Amino acid sequence: MDFKDIRKEFPIYQNIPNLVYLDSGATALKPKCVLDKMNEYYTTYGVNIHRGVYALSYQATDEYDKAREIVSKFINCDFKEVVFTKNVSDALNKICLMLENDLQENDEVITSELEHHSSVLPWMKVCQRKNAKLKYIPLNEEGRITVENFKKVLTDKTKYIALTLVSNVMGYLTPIKEIIELAHQRNIMVIVDAAQAIQHFSIDVRDLDCDFLAFSGHKAMGPTGIGVFYGKKKILKQLQPIDFGGDMNEEVDLYNVDIKDIPYRFETGTPPIAEAIGLGRALEFLLELGLDNIQKYEKELHSYALSKLDQIEGITIYNKSSDVGIISFNIDGVHPHDAATFFDEASICLRAGHHCAQLITKWLKCVGTLRASLYVYNTYEDIDKFIEVVKQTVDFFKQF
Ligand SMILES: Cc1ncc(COP(=O)(O)O)c(C=O)c1O
């Protein structure tokens, strides 16, 4: 598929024609269809859901339900297994807190140094509270999680495994299916952070057989303020919600509350209605583009960028074999924040720092990296402009 004309779908390019946006790992740009869908909600039926006994409220409830249906089809699960949250951080925290009850002293939780803070910090805190042990899969020399190395930390005491599906710094795809298979042989639950995967790969939670999987809408061209967690029905049914309040209960009396069925028991208060509806449209848009097409185009752009970067002396690229269009690099001897100002001056948006994943930047033995993350709306011209600024920045700092 040719993505030549795709920028027409993204109003930000009409407003900032010279924008070179290489920060899709932080958040993706939003297509017009998503903005229109949200605007339609606010301008034609923008009322609350589940409460009103009038037509507009039924319509809003219907659209909200449709969004959940789209998500469930997108990741291949049941409608009831999809819970809306604020973002993936919120989702991962909720999952962790709900599972905390079953974590005992001396139990072990396996994670990795590739995790975003949102995936590892909730478990770090829970393990501290419970006197449980957090264990890290040793990364191989490239910085990848391997099944071999996973086996080295798997023990009879392992209770949970919390792993990223794609690293936001290295772009590596975790061999999660094999890990889940091994985990399930020992009745261990696996929680997957799919924040950097959902926008690139087809995800089938039934095929993966993961117990939980979470992502944010905004990295998949949806709005901010909406995230999702999937949980297996039989597990969700046994969990107590973290938050209590309106709309998550059936019956309340003086000393008791009878909570609703899944997924509603996990969504208290007025949810992000427009955002859920917008996310539904974003996922439809991804399907219209075709995830395979997105991946193929991104790969071509990524190879092109790498081939150009390879010719520049004075830079270090940390993840040449990335599985998605993420390039983490540094200008040798230059702090990434100092280098980033050169890109900003050229209207090139990229990220500099530890990317909320300090464990991997420490593993790489650097204070942080520059990160260019590519997506469907990027062009070969974007890459050329980016390469030009890399060269200029190297030349500038060479003088000192
Ligand atoms: C792998 C990964 N997990 C979690 C997050 C947190 O996402 P959010 O800020 O939308 O909660 C990010 C954001 O960059 C991420 O890349």
Quote the pLDDT of residue 51. Answer: 77
Once rounded to an integer, what is the mean pLDDT over residues 208-220?
Answer: 98
Quote the pLDDT of residue 124. Answer: 98
Quote the pLDDT of residue 52. Answer: 77
Q: How far is the CA of 195 from the centre of ligand 1 (A)?
A: 5
Per residue in 345-362, pLDDT (tens digit) is 999 999 999 999 999 999
pLDDT at position 309 over 90: yes
pLDDT at position 250 over 60: yes
- Looking from the CA of residue 90, the nearest atom of ligand 1 is 11
Distance of CA 132 to the CA centre of its chain: 27
CB atoms within 10 A of CB 2: 7
- Looking from the CA of residue 167, the nearest atom of ligand 1 is 1
Helix %, strand %, coil % of the chain (to 5): 45, 15, 40
Per residue in 93-146, pLDDT (tens digit) is 999 999 999 999 999 999 999 999 999 999 999 999 999 999 999 999 999 999
* Catalytic-role residue among 33, 210, 349, 356: 356
- pTM beyond 0.85: the answer is yes
Mutate to test the pocket of ligand 1, among 168, 200, 226 (most ligand atoms within 8 A of CB): 168
Q: How far is the CA of 89 from the centre of ligand 1 (A)?
A: 6
Q: How far is the CA of 116 from the centre of ligand 1 (A)?
A: 6
Quote the pLDDT of residue 3. Answer: 87
Mutate to test the pocket of ligand 1, among 112, 198, 216 (most ligand atoms within 8 A of CB): 216
Question: What is the Cα–Cα distance from 149 to 188, expressed in whole angstroms?
Answer: 17
Going by alpha carbons, the residue nearest to atom 13 of ligand 1 is: 26
Going by alpha carbons, the residue nearest to atom 16 of ligand 1 is: 168
Identity at 276, one-letter amino acid code = A
pLDDT at position 276 over 70: yes
Sign of CA dihedral 341, 345, 347, 348: negative
Quote the pLDDT of residue 109. Answer: 98
Ligand 1 pocket, residues with Cβ under 6 angstroms: 87-89, 116, 118-119, 164, 168, 193, 195-196, 216
CA distances from 40 to 47, 57, 66, 275 (A): 12, 14, 15, 12
Angle at which helices 273-289 and 55-75 cross, to 10°: 40
Q: How far is the CA of 91 from the centre of ligand 1 (A)?
A: 11
66: left (phi over 0), alpha (psi -120 to 50) or beta: alpha
Quote the pLDDT of residue 2. Answer: 67
pLDDT at position 1 over 60: no
Per residue in 315-334, pLDDT (tens digit) is 999 999 999 999 999 999 99
Q: How far is the CA of 25 from the centre of ligand 1 (A)?
A: 9
Which tokens go with 257?
A: 């509350």
What percentage of residues in the chain have a pLDDT greater than 90?
Answer: 96
Quote the pLDDT of residue 247. Answer: 87
For the residues of 42-92, what is the DSSP string, one character each? Answer: HHHS---SSS--SHHHHHHHHHHHHHHHHHHHHHT--GGGEEEESSHHHHH
Q: What is the mean pLDDT of the chain?
A: 96
Question: What is the Cα–Cα distance from 64 to 280, expressed in whole angstroms?
Answer: 9
Once rounded to an integer, what is the mean pLDDT over residues 143-153?
Answer: 98
Q: Kind and range of the H or E element at 326?
A: strand 326-331
Mutate to test the pocket of ligand 1, among 115, 118, 121, 170 (most ligand atoms within 8 A of CB): 118
Quote the pLDDT of residue 126. Answer: 98
Return the minimum-mean-pLDDT range out of 216-230, 245-259, 383-397.
Answer: 245-259
Quote the pLDDT of residue 304. Answer: 98
Which residues, in sequence order, are bridge partners of residue 136? 111
Give 400's pLDDT tier (boundaries 50, 70, 90).
confident
Quote the pLDDT of residue 53. Answer: 87
Question: What is the Cα–Cα distance from 179 to 153, expressed in whole angstroms?
Answer: 12
Which residues, in sequence order, are bridge partners of residue 191? 162, 212
Quote the pLDDT of residue 145. Answer: 98
Give 4's pLDDT tier (boundaries 50, 70, 90).
confident
Q: How far is the CA of 223 from the centre of ligand 1 (A)?
A: 14
Question: What is the Cα–Cα distance from 259 to 261, expressed in whole angstroms?
Answer: 7
User: Is 96 one of the catalytic residues?
Assistant: no
